[in-house]
Amino acid sequence: MTDKPASERLRGKVALVAGATRGAGRGIAVELGAAGATVYVTGRSTRQQRSEYNLAETIEDTADLVTAAGGQGIAVPTDHLEPAQVETLVQRIDNEQGQLDILVNDIWGGEFLAQWETPVWEHSLENGLRMLRLAIDTHLITSHFALPLLIRQPGGLLVEVTDGTEAYNRTHYRLSTFYDLAKTSVNRLGWSQAQELKPYQCTAVSLTPGWIRSEIMLGHFGVTEANWRDATTQDPHFIISETPHFVGRAVAHLAADPQVARWNGQSLSSGQLAQVYGFTDLDGSQPDCWRYIEEVREAGKPADPTGYR
């Protein structure tokens, strides 16, 4: 790693976290800021206009959190399905910073479109196809415009954020054909872009959090971060869950690792990287969700995080 203080490890680095309104994207942006980075945060929910989610979080709030953490947060409203908006965004970063060191493709926005355990012929076709556009097209559009700036100098990092490792998704049906395709495709995007970035001495990976306590997930269980353990009365296995900061710290450690190229093309998880880099979640634990899911939940064992966090 580096001998710099944690708050200075990414000082002078410029990041774009595409899809940083809430959830993993917000956690990643804030932790990059805590390491000293300048972080451009994008999304469609602003203080002036909400997306169809109609939730309270905004990109301006995320930018403020980045700055409060010790970095510089810059909010830029962007619909990543609109190529012209993404091109303008990247041109602004180039004009203002002249560099891009870290690109995080976390755009999603499909939580309320999926119909779980519903076969493809019964699932809303309109919602399913939009889910794919939000999960895949947005990432491709953003990479198309942002990677030419990233590869100007060696050492750049692209992180494709998804749900599930390549190994897990390969052998597990992810609750809907559309959702399954969306999340497995992003793992492949990380691998394929790694082949294209390698000649430029840049790195691409795909990365998944575990069972993340996003604002939407907390709302689903009717709890807050302060009393999240109350949700285990509804699903005892929620005890393995993690905050968005955990995956954020995974990205920050990857970005600060001078040997990050060793991960090029790999599918990674927050729990896996915590074991390598030694970081913890906010409570000091290291939840290893994907191993827990297979060895405890899917094995039919009682919920018990002992040895998994």
pLDDT at residue 1 above 80? no
CA nearest to 202, candidates 276, 277, 102:
102
Which residues, 6 or more positions from 91, have their beta carbon under 8 angstroms from its beta carbon? none
Q: What is the pLDDT of residue 72?
A: 98
Contact (Cβ atoms closer than 8 angstroms) between residue 218 and residue 277: no
How far is the CA of 126 from the CAs of 83, 115, 130, 174, 183, in angstroms?
A: 21, 12, 6, 19, 18
Q: Is the pLDDT of residue 4 over 90?
A: no
Mean pLDDT of 49-58: 84
Task: State the average pLDDT for the chain.
Answer: 96
**With b meaning 16 or more CB within 10 Å and e meaning fewer, what string describes 77-99?**
bbbbbeeebbeebbeebbeebeb
CA distances for 280 relative to 27, 66, 283, angstroms: 13, 19, 7
Structure tokens at 265: 């093309």
Match 């692209």 to its residue by tokens. 158
Residue spans of beta strands (DSSP E) within the chain: 14-18, 38-43, 72-77, 102-105, 157-161, 203-208, 267-269
**Which class for 245: exposed (0-12), middle (13-18), buried (19 or more C-beta within 10 A)?**
buried
Tokens of 272: 């896996």
The pLDDT-based confidence of 163 (bands split at 50, 70, 90) is very high
Asked whether the predicted pLDDT for residue 46 surpasses 90, the reply is: no
By residue count, the chain amounts to 309
Nearest to 22 by CA among 1, 2, 42: 42
Residue 6 banded pLDDT, cuts 50, 70, 90: confident
Model confidence, pTM: 0.96
Report the C-alpha gap between 308 and 304 in whole angstroms: 8
Structure tokens at 25: 């994207």
Is residue 144 over pLDDT 80?
Answer: yes
> What pLDDT does residue 98 have?
98
- Given a cut of 80, whether residue 124 has pLDDT beyond it is yes
Q: Where are the domains of the chain?
A: 6-223+244-291
pLDDT level of residue 3 (50, 70, 90 thresholds): low
Contact 60, 66 (CB under 8 A): no
Note the pLDDT of residue 2.
Answer: 53
pLDDT at 48: 87
Give the pLDDT of residue 52.
78
Mean of the pLDDT values across residues 191-203? 98
Q: Averaged over 211-224, what is the pLDDT?
A: 96
At the top level of CATH, the class of 6-223+244-291 is: alpha beta
pLDDT value, residue 7? 84
In this prediction, what percent of the chain has a pLDDT beyond 90?
Answer: 92
Mean predicted confidence (pLDDT) in 114-143: 96
